[in-house]
Amino acid sequence: MYFIELNNGVEIPQLGMGMAAIGSWQQDDEYVSEVILKAISLGYRHFDTASVYGNERALGRALKESGLPREELFITSKVWDTEQGNTKTHDAFARSLERLQLEYLDLYLVHWPVPAYTRETWEAMEALYQQKKVRALGLSNFRKSDIEQLATFAEVRPVCNQIELHPYFTQQPLVDYCQFHKIAISCWAPLGSGSAWSAVSEHEKPLVDPVILEIAKDHDVGPGQIILKWNIQQHRIVIPKSESLENMRNNFLLSNFNLSHSEINSINELNCNKRLGGDPDYANQTHVMVKVPD
């Protein structure tokens, strides 16, 4: 397993399991717990959920059933747009912990930027950090302007920014900015499958790009493994979502090959600024209508 040391000294597994819409959107039943237990049996220890995904309880049940020591796990959750603000963020965090049956989180993220509430939200998160209820604080979908706003008042530096990043949407200027400021990059939808709300047809995905397929053939691995290793070798965190045992296993088997500099550059050059998920410029307009389940 690969690890990255975050800017506060906490180590995070570079490969985690994304949990948006396992089964279906906000599904929270035994099926979800069974998928997580399969992942744990394969060696996954990093799980990335969010209050709005509606499956924190299923994750909590699976973690308890696994019997793994808490210190072997890395659990991330996020505060949703409608939960932002001082008191609301404290309440949202407490509800997440209760659903997860945990005493602390490893990482807590602002799910999407809502600039009017960023200061209140971040200060609430800083209080949770000082109380040792969370080991690290981070961002998700934050633009450069959002990070610059945060920098004017933050006392605790964010450790990461989780953004849409795949071979068709590399966001290199934002990646460079974050890495310069020692903010790690975490990639959601790293295989270019879009978000839980944006269906992407098979022929639009980087997984079927001829460049990716050729490199995969050369290494005798799957195209998904090539994309994940492309991220790993560039010191990024990846959280692919999968429900099948075969795909989860393949996503985890990345140590038997390395990409050359020219192969990495070939994949970098596939960028066409093609966003397949939500855009932080507009997302909040629809997010305010999305309810976090109890």
Q: Is position 53 annotated as part of the catalytic site?
A: yes
- Which residue in the block uniquely carries the two structure tokens 């990335």? 48
Cα separation, 292 vs 77, whole angstroms: 13
- Return the number of other C-beta atoms located less than 10 Å from residue 137's C-beta: 23
The Cα–Cα gap between 210 and 220 comes to 15
For Cα atoms 150, 155, 159, give the angle at the middle one, nearest 5 degrees.
Answer: 70
Rounded to whole angstroms, the Cα distance separating 134 from 193 reads: 30
> How far is CA 227 from each of CA 31, 128, 235, 266, rounded to the nearest angstrom?
28, 35, 13, 12
Q: How far apart are CA 226 and CA 257, in angstroms?
A: 9
Q: In one letter, which amino acid is 245?
A: L
Q: Is 111 annotated as a binding residue?
A: yes
CB atoms within 10 A of CB 23: 15
What SS3 class is residue 137?
A: strand
E-strand spans in 73-188?
A: 74-79, 107-110, 137-140, 160-164, 184-188
Helix (H, G, I), strand (E, B) or coil at 18: strand
For residue 243, the Cα-to-chain-centroid distance in whole angstroms is 16
Name the catalytic one among 44, 53, 108, 129. Answer: 53
Residue 165, φ and ψ in degrees, nearest 5? -155, 125
Rounded to 5°, the CA angle 147-230-107 comes to: 40
Q: Which residues are annotated as a binding site?
A: 111
Q: Which residues are annotated as a binding site for substrate?
A: 111
Known catalytic residues are 53
